[in-house]
């Protein structure tokens, strides 16, 4: 925290006097009264708090986080950050995933601004502008939730963290700082959200509202955002990596939190996007949802990225105009996760592969639709919306242009590590991508930060782990109905026309089916990276990934699974390391080693 604190002080003095265009004389002092005495400058400071919301997606040197888990093998696997990651060259002094953004510093800087805003907006000697009371209350609620969200992002990456609920004084006694328990951290996160939710609901334009416009949902936090934070924070607290003996965050308790979050959103008009698009527009409602352009309104999105995904450019095919690299190429593991359309898993979920390299699939003997010689036939509709595979149509408006990924084809698989425009795995990413997108017209979709489907799945996991698949769980939300974990999963599956999970599944089998469902529904949305860690299955999933090398022989194809070994399946990769220089300072100040295990 020492580096964070002094970085903040220096940054504030600089940015709020001469570099932020806030109409303040550059006299070396922070004139907060000048800021909070004017409406426009107060809003600018509010936006400074918001700017630490990192857009999900292409933030790791224009690569999806999926490339750092078992969802994708990146075509830039011989370069920089990706090569270091796959080769296991990470250390506390040089960690690949923080080479571009030091998340520890980044989020604590954001927390500082939030604390400062909350302190100053309530100081009558500083905040002298005559604010509309409802708008001011809404700002306070929103920034309180934003501070909670920043703490959640730190917890997901680093585990136990210091809670920063006020602005540090100068000088500050760092010897009293400590990394709090997970329970204390989540208590603070959830408590902050509850504090905000206790405020007035606002109206159609100001206050802490349920309804925000399509453009606002990329910047303005709603009440649904607060419930989503509560749901995700509680889920992490109960998960194997984070659960602490004796903690109140048992699966039973978390199921009630997640159910209430889901019910609150449903009661206020949120719903899974289910509009059937024209055949020339998209394959399904799920497909269309992820390629919608800026300004489109739907009832599923709670908060989303403010930047176009640009799959066409950074995870595109060599035949796409303007594509710079193939980027995050979906793995065979992800492809194997998609069931056949009758709702039967392709692999035995208890042990999907018979070898560590994942080249020997353990097929599910109950599946009668899957054909190893025609593996992309009769699959879950979400497969076709997420992956470009050999032989699929490139465009929806005509069927003559095919995506050919076999060896030697125009989009063929390549094992030349110096060429990054061709797929490593035999697949390209389709999700978020408008097939017509290129450098001429980039109209890809936007990645959700929170959407209603996640809340259904969060509840399903907690309820399934607590009472099993078929026992109803209720909440206190007026008018809400009790729901089972299986029903929550089936609601998500029904949107794409997949059969529901059967009744009577034992807890172990249900959790296997649930985890597979979560993987499929939330593919490439930055959940899988954290899921395999919080479930503590990293050694099973990330020690190797695989692809499909296809060879064309006349009219026939030969399918060969190929493996990509990795060095990032070790337990030390469950959490990010703290920067070693920061650890050394805090260890000296507190007498406690702050570093995470293995680093």
- Residue 132 sits in a domain of what CATH number? 1.25.40.890
Same domain, yes or no: 397 and 332 = yes
Mean pLDDT of 463-472: 98
Nearest to 429 by CA among 342, 312, 320, 538: 312
- Is the predicted pLDDT of residue 67 greater than 70, yes or no? yes
| Predicted confidence (pLDDT) at residue 58 exceeds the cutoff of 70 | yes
Q: Work out the pLDDT band at 169, boundaries 50, 70, 90.
A: confident
pLDDT at 214: 81
Distances (CA, A) of 282 to 176, 179, 227, 288, 335: 56, 48, 31, 5, 20
d(CA 576, CA 556): 46
Determine, yes or no, domain membership for 545: yes
Q: Are the C-beta atoms of 550 and 562 separated by less than 8 Å?
A: no
Domain span at residue 545 reads 309-445+537-568
Q: What ranges in 414-483 are assigned the alpha helix state H?
A: 452-467
Residue 7's pLDDT band, with cuts at 50, 70 and 90, is very low
What is the reported pLDDT for 516?
98
Taking alpha carbons only, the member of 161, 159, 154, 440 closest to residue 321 is: 440
Percent of the chain with pLDDT over 90: 85
Q: Are residues 34 and 118 in the same domain?
A: yes
Do 431 and 546 lie in a common domain?
A: yes
Whether 316 is in a domain gets the answer: yes
pLDDT tens per residue, range 394-421: 999 899 999 999 999 999 999 898 999 9
- Give the domain CATH number at 490: 1.25.40.900
Q: CA dihedral defined by 134, 137, 138, 141, rounded to 10 degrees?
A: -160
DSSP assignment of 78-126 equals TSHHHHHHHTT---SSS-GGGSS--HHHHHHHHHHHHHHHHHHHT-TTT
**Per the domain annotation, does 66 fall within a domain?**
no
Q: Looking at the structure, do residues 340 and 429 belong to the same domain, yes or no?
A: yes
Q: How confident is the model at residue 167 (pLDDT cuts 50, 70, 90)?
A: very high
Q: How many domains does the chain have?
A: 3
Q: Is the pLDDT of residue 171 over 50?
A: yes
Q: Residue 15: what pLDDT?
A: 40
Is the pLDDT at 371 greater than 80? The verdict is yes
Pairing, β 402-403 against β 392-393: antiparallel
The tokens describing 168, both together, are 């540090």
Confidence at residue 307, expressed as pLDDT on a 0 to 100 scale: 86
Burial 337-352 (b: 16+ CB within 10 A, else e): bbbbbebebbbbbeeb
pLDDT computed for residue 61 by the predictor: 84
Q: Are residues 125 and 151 in the same domain?
A: yes
**Residue 67 covered by a domain:** no
Which two structure tokens, joined as six digits, stand for 481? 């109905």
pLDDT (0 to 100) of residue 55: 80
> Domain check: are 121 and 25 in the same one?
yes
Please check whether residues 249 and 366 belong to one and the same domain.
no
Residues 254 and 293 both lie in one domain: yes
> What crossing angle do the helices spanning 251-267 and 452-467 adopt, rounded to 10°?
150
Q: What mean pLDDT is predicted for residues 8-22?
A: 37
Q: Are 514 and 464 in contact (CB under 8 A)?
A: yes
Residues 6+ apart with CB under 8 A from 30: 12, 13, 16, 17
Rounded CA separation 539/567 (Å): 10
Q: Within this chain, do residues 117 and 165 fall inside the same structural domain, yes or no?
A: yes
Q: For residues 298 and 273, is the Cβ–Cβ distance under 8 A?
A: yes
pLDDT of residue 13: 39
- Residue 588 in any domain: the answer is yes
State the DSSP code for 501: P
Q: Which pLDDT band holds residue 174 (cuts at 50, 70, 90)?
A: confident
pLDDT of res. 27:
44
- Residue-wise pLDDT for 527-564, tens only, equals 999 999 999 999 999 999 999 999 999 999 999 999 99
Are 229 and 295 within one domain?
A: yes
pLDDT of 583 reads: 93
Closest C-alpha among 51, 49, 58 to residue 307:
58
pTM of the model: 0.94
Task: Place 232 in a pLDDT band, splitting at 50, 70 and 90.
Answer: very high
Most confident of 27-31, 227-231, 295-299: 227-231
Residue 68 is assigned to a structural domain of this protein: no
Whole-number Å distance between alpha carbons of 206 and 137: 9
What is the model's pLDDT at position 479? 95
pLDDT of residue 1: 64
Whether 314 and 429 map to the same domain: the answer is yes
Mean pLDDT of the chain: 93
Residue 335 lies in a domain: yes
**Residue 91 falls inside a structural domain:** yes
In this structure, the answer to whether residues 302 and 319 fall within a common structural domain is no
Tokens of 507: 């807890």
Q: How far apart are the first and last CA of the chain?
A: 18
């Amino acid at each position: 925290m020492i580096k964070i604190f002094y970085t903040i002080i220096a940054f504030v003095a600089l940015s709020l006097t001469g570099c932020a265009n806030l109409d303040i004389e550059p006299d070396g002092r922070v004139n907060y009264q000048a800021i909070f005495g004017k409406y426009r400058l107060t809003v600018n400071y509010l936006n400074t708090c918001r700017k630490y919301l990192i857009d999900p997606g292409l933030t790791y040197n224009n690569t999806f986080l999926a490339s750092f888990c078992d969802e994708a093998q990146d075509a830039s696997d011989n370069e920089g950050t990706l090569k270091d990651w796959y080769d296991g060259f990470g250390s506390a002094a040089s960690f690949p995933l923080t080479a571009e953004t030091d998340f520890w510093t980044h989020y604590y800087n954001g927390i500082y601004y939030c604390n400062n805003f909350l302190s100053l907006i309530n100081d009558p000697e500083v905040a002298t502008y005559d604010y509309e009371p409802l708008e001011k209350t809404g700002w306070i609620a929103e920034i309180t939730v934003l501070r909670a969200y920043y703490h959640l992002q730190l917890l997901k990456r680093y585990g136990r963290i210091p809670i920063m609920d006020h602005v540090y004084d100068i000088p500050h006694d760092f010897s009293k700082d400590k990394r709090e328990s997970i329970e204390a951290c989540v208590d603070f996160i959830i408590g902050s959200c509850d504090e905000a939710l206790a405020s007035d609901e606002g109206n159609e334009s100001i206050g802490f509202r349920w309804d925000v416009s399509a453009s606002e949902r990329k910047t303005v936090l709603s009440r649904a955002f607060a419930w989503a934070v509560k749901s995700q924070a509680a889920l992490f607290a109960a998960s194997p990596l984070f659960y602490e003996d004796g903690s109140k965050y048992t699966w039973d308790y978390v199921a009630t939190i997640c159910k209430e979050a889901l019910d609150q959103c449903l009661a206020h008009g949120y719903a899974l996007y289910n509009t059937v698009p024209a055949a020339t527009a998209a394959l399904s409602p799920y497909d269309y949802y992820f390629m919608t352009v800026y300004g489109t309104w739907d009832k599923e999105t709670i908060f989303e990225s403010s930047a176009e995904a640009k799959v066409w450019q950074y995870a595109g095919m060599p035949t796409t105009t303007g594509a710079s690299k193939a980027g995050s190429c979906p793995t065979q593991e992800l492809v194997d996760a998609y069931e056949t359309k009758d709702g039967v898993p392709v692999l035995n979920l208890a042990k999907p592969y018979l070898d560590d390299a994942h080249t020997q699939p353990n097929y599910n003997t109950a599946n009668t639709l899957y054909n190893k010689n025609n593996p992309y036939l009769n699959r879950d509709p979400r497969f076709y919306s997420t992956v470009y595979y050999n032989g699929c149509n490139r465009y929806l408006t005509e069927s003559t242009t095919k995506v050919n990924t076999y060896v030697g084809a125009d989009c063929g698989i390549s094992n030349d590590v110096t060429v990054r425009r061709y797929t490593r795995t035999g697949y390209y990413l389709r999700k978020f991508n408008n097939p017509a997108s290129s450098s001429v017209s980039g109209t890809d979709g936007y990645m959700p930060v929170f959407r209603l489907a996640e809340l259904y799945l969060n509840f399903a996991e907690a309820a399934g782990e607590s009472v099993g698949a078929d026992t109803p769980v209720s909440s206190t939300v007026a008018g809400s109905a009790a729901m089972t974990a299986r029903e929550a999963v089936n609601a998500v599956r029904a949107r794409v026309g997949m059969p529901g999970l059967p009744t009577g599944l034992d807890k172990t089998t249900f959790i296997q089916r649930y985890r597979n469902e979560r993987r499929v529904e939330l593919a490439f949305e930055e959940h899988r990276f954290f899921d395999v860690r919080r479930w503590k299955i990293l050694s099973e999933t990330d020690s190797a990934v695989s692809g499909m090398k296809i060879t064309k022989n006349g009219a026939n194809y030969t399918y060969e699974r190929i493996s990509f070994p990795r060095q990032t399946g070790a337990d030390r990769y469950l959490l990010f390391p703290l920067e070693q220089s920061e650890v050394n300072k805090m260890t000296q100040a507190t007498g406690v080693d702050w570093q995470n295990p293995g680093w």
